[in-house]
């Protein structure tokens, strides 16, 4: 007999994505972790910080080392009920991106709000 207790509201996982789609596997590993957690019923929030916002640009090509873009994985987020996508407002401005240029709907988060956001999640993973 298994204890099938529901996951408490405060048990949402915050996955912080700080790396771009090319040059390392960090972004892909973070997205894979989020998908696995969501597949097991854990609520997931994604936070794109710094260079991580570049993952949300449409039309990504294969990287210099043959890495595939992450667009197909990002397109699956809705299927896994991952719909809370947050983006550091300063990173958008630094890279010159507008929210409506990104491939998915996001919510901007000001830098000052990041500590409270992180404190509101018991589980935080950074990639």
List, for residues 24-43, the tens digit of each pLDDT value.
Answer: 889 999 999 999 999 999 99
Asked whether residue 9 is domain-assigned, the answer is no
Number of domains in the chain: 1
CATH of the domain at 42: 3.40.1260.10
pTM of the model: 0.85
35-92: per-residue pLDDT in tens? 999 999 999 999 999 999 999 988 776 655 555 668 888 989 999 999 999 999 999 9
What is the layout of strands, in order, in the sheet containing 44-48? 107-109, 84-88, 44-48, 13-17, 123-126
Rounded to the nearest integer, the mean pLDDT of the chain is: 87
Range of the domain at 87: 18-56+68-126
């Amino acid at each position: 007999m298994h204890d099938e207790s529901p996951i408490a509201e405060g048990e949402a996982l915050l996955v912080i994505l700080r790396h771009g789609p090319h040059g390392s596997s960090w972004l892909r590993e973070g997205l894979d972790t989020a998908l696995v957690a969501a597949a097991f019923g854990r609520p997931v929030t994604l936070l794109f910080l710094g260079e991580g916002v570049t993952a949300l640009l449409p039309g990504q090509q294969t990287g210099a080392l043959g890495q595939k873009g992450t667009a197909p994985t990002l397109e699956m987020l809705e299927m896994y009920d991952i719909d809370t996508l947050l983006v550091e407002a300063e990173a958008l401005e630094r890279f010159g991106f507008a929210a409506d240029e990104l491939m998915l709907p996001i919510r901007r988060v000001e830098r000052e709000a990041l500590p409270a956001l992180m404190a509101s999640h018991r589980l935080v993973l950074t990639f």
